[in-house]
Structure 1
Amino acid sequence: MSAAAYESALAGVLGTAREHAEKVDREAVFPAESMAALRASGLMGMFVPREYGGLGDDLHAYTQIASRLAAACASTAAIWTMHAFQVDGLSRFAGDRLRQAVLPTIAAGGTYLASVTTEARKGADLFTAEAPLTWRDGRADFERDAPVVTGGRHAEAFLITLRRTPEAQPHEVSLVYAERAQLRIGEHGEWDPLGMRGTESIGLTISGSVSPDQVVGQPGRFEDIARESMVPLAHLGWSACWLGTACGAFSDLLRWLRSPTRRGGPDLGSDLVRERLARIRVDLDLVSAYLTRLCDELTAARSAGRSWSDAHTRLRVNTLKLAASELTFKAADSMVQLAGMNGGYSRLAPVKFERHFRDLRSARLNHSNDRMWPATGALALLDPKVTLL
């Protein structure tokens, strides 16, 4: 799809997302209208190969769409991003029969694909699973309890991590594709977070039975799918969402500051104000530059058939996530400080910084930085030459 075609596809979605963003945040409800617009736009087919009617795997388009969506509604952007990187894992590792059966429907917008990777005791650790697959008469049965499933109430299908067999070790994780019609689903818990409220990430209990060809990739080797697809694309997409949220807020701030009808607020003739604006802009530019450069590198690697799971790539992907999550929230915090109590902190302020501030506060908690900093330090020890991106 050309840049003009992407722009055309996005146009109606962005208007819908902006129109409903305040309600989605206020009521902590799934952005149904925005998702309906995305389904109709063709953009749900990101990472579906073109031969199945999708958009292919343009990483720059992926991050640009995520960023643009997030400037309008961060929850909508996060939901679309998570769907997209699940689709990439399915497209690359599913068997032929499963690909032929499900990818055309995904490309046409008929399937929103949700991720089921959390469990109560292990939390968000991707690489272990407690609930097992039990094989009976050529079918795989399972019962799964997930405390957090983004948009799970609205998904037509799920990718679910499960222990390969009841006897398998926790790290022998299989990935299973299951459609809602194959499952018994119960809901539990409540969803009332500080930010990213429209992701409606409620808890689900899921049980069902699937055929062997619905196991995606090699049984027990979900780590391969995660390393080569889902984890890098998650951090690219989430970082783009956070950058888009912060850039949207900064754009609103600049328009407000330059408005001839503005009452009160900071003095644009002040060197201190200009310095603060410059620091915000530099932080956003740094995140954007690293995101763009990493997209270039990952695109080149994938085109050449090189792995994304080597230590250098993992280090750079982690660096992006850490930098983006911390610098975009820092920028949002600085914007609120600059706009002041009445200009930025209040829900009644002329610019709605407080929603962006709350949404971006989640960035460091999403795949927690407290776990990622030590892991990234361990990867840094493997690169004594300090090979920078």
Structure 2
Amino acid sequence: MNVSVALPETALAARTARVAVIAAKHADDVDHAGRFPKEAVDALKAERLLGIQIPVHLGGEGASLEQIAEVCSTLGQACSAVAMIFAMHQIKASSLVEHGEESEWHTQFMRRIAAEQLLLGSATTEGGIGGNLRNSICAIEREGTICRLQKDATVISYGSDADAILVTSRAHADASSSDQVMTVFLKDQYSLEKTHVWDTLGMRGTCSDGFLFKAEAPAVQIFAKPFAEIAAQSMLATSHLLWSAVWHGIAADAVMRAQSFVRAAARRSPGIVPPGAIRLAEVSSKLQTVRSNVIAGLRAYAETKKDPDALMSMGFAVTMNNVKICSSETILDIINHALLICGIMGYKNGTPYSVGRHLRDAHSAQLMISNDRILGNTANLLLVHKQDTSLLG
């Protein structure tokens, strides 16, 4: 388990701010061209932000999830794609940090992440199961000290640009679809044959194409802990919380653009309250709701992670599901408000008040993982679990 130490907030904020400047400069081009945000990812590596979650004794900085979420939000205000790439990388890193030190190979791999600033990709989706990450069709094959895997991955997060990919599969050929393991494969251990092009409405710069993934590596690269435990004890929480932090950043930048628009209107007509001022007040409260929701979720995780059994409880799953649902749905309302405030100047691309990219990127939030799937899961849990109605938990 990772033991976090105090990472100077000012130092981390300054490093993040430098990356955000670069990310914002290229954000519109990244979106328009649907290209990988190489400039900003190179800046993440130069600022050594990819290894901040790795424990100090392994060469990292032991950053807390709260600190990582703040980086996600800041980057989200600059470029949604960069922020999502950083979040996805840190979600994968959390699996290593929380479950990898039992293995010498995974421990040494964490050292490499910190030293070499390796970018981690994810391959959990698969043809035939869609976005249900708790089921797999493909099965890993073990032959002596070697393992092999072939997976029809409909989406691999920035697959062509990752330095390593963490892949889920059935534990063996006779395993059920939910009896899964996760394996780390390094870039020189796999081949990618593109099968789907990532031509999407938003989040275009994440370049999450589909591939036929074929890999061979030492079997020690398979996590010892079943994926069911990894998902429940780290991935569920870190995914919902860091994604929500990204979405907060997207919405926050849209609100800032709307505020700038209202202020400019007020300067043009002194003494007259601009028409969008009331909507700006309304949207400010909605943004605060998202912020409070994410902060409450981060605190709940910090408290609950002290007990591995509690991390796998129904109550904790409901809490994390609710964080994701609230954040992903509310940001669309926020950005729509910003659009109404800015009017045609927000609708047009290339203006200081443009929020079209924000709105398109935000629509991905309800699809990662599908809100309908999450609500169905929560509904089943609430059939047997009493809803927590206390104010302070």
Aligned length: 383
The SS at the match of 1:165 is coil
Question: 1:106 is matched with which residue?
Answer: 113
Question: 2:158 is matched with which residue?
Answer: 151
Question: 2:91 is matched with which residue?
Answer: 85
How many angstroms apart in 1 are the aligned matches of 2:261 and 2:337?
15
Question: 1:228 is matched with which residue?
Answer: 233
How many angstroms apart in 2 are the aligned matches of 1:14 and 1:160?
29
Amino acid in the other structure paired with 1:377? A
Deviation for aligned residue 1:260: 6.3
Deviation for aligned residue 1:59: 1.7
How many angstroms apart in 2 are the aligned matches of 1:348 and 1:176?
43
How many angstroms apart in 2 are the aligned matches of 1:262 and 1:143?
61
Q: Contact 1:111–1:157 at 8 Å: present in 2 too? A: yes
Deviation for aligned residue 1:384: 3.0
How many angstroms apart in 1 are the aligned matches of 2:65 and 2:339?
32
CA RMSD of aligned residues (A): 1.9
Amino acid in the other structure paired with 2:118? T
Question: 2:284 is matched with which residue?
Answer: 281
How many angstroms apart in 1 are the aligned matches of 2:375 and 2:324?
10
How many angstroms apart in 2 are the aligned matches of 1:384 and 1:209?
46
Deviation for aligned residue 1:301: 2.3
Question: Which residues of 2 match residues 157-172 of structure 1 at below 5 A?
Answer: 157-172=164-179
How many angstroms apart in 1 are the aligned matches of 2:379 and 2:300?
21
Question: 1:239 is matched with which residue?
Answer: 244
Question: 1:130 is matched with which residue?
Answer: 137
Question: 2:218 is matched with which residue?
Answer: 211
How many angstroms apart in 1 are the aligned matches of 2:173 and 2:66?
41
Question: 1:269 is matched with which residue?
Answer: 273
How many angstroms apart in 2 are the aligned matches of 1:360 and 1:180?
31
Question: Which residues of 2 match residues 116-127 of structure 1 at below 5 A?
Answer: 116-127=123-134
Return the TM-score normalized by structure 1. Answer: 0.93
How many angstroms apart in 1 are the aligned matches of 2:255 and 2:113?
34
Question: 1:248 is matched with which residue?
Answer: 253
Return the TM-score normalized by structure 2. Answer: 0.92
Deviation for aligned residue 1:46: 3.1
Deviation for aligned residue 1:278: 2.1
Question: 2:328 is matched with which residue?
Answer: 325
Amino acid in the other structure paired with 1:182? Q
Of 66, 70, 81, 2:72 maps to 66
Of 377, 386, 392, 1:375 maps to 377
**Structure 2 unmatched runs, 5+:** 1-6
Amino acid in the other structure paired with 1:289? S
How many angstroms apart in 1 are the aligned matches of 2:352 and 2:330?
24
Judging changes above 3 Å, is the alpha-carbon distance between structure 1 residues 253 and 362 closer, same or farther for their aligned structure 2 residues? same
Amino acid in the other structure paired with 1:189? H
How many angstroms apart in 2 are the aligned matches of 1:125 and 1:306?
23
Q: Contact 1:43–1:55 at 8 Å: present in 2 too? A: no
How many angstroms apart in 1 are the aligned matches of 2:267 and 2:173?
65
Question: Which residues of 2 match residues 9-28 of structure 1 at below 5 A?
Answer: 9-28=15-34
Question: 2:3 is matched with which residue?
Answer: none
* 1:199-244 Cα distance to aligned partner (Å, 9 max, x none): 00101111122222111133xx201001100111000000000011
Sequence identity percentage? 28
Deviation for aligned residue 1:139: 1.5
Q: Does 1:361 align with 2:363?
A: yes
How many angstroms apart in 2 are the aligned matches of 1:385 and 1:350?
44
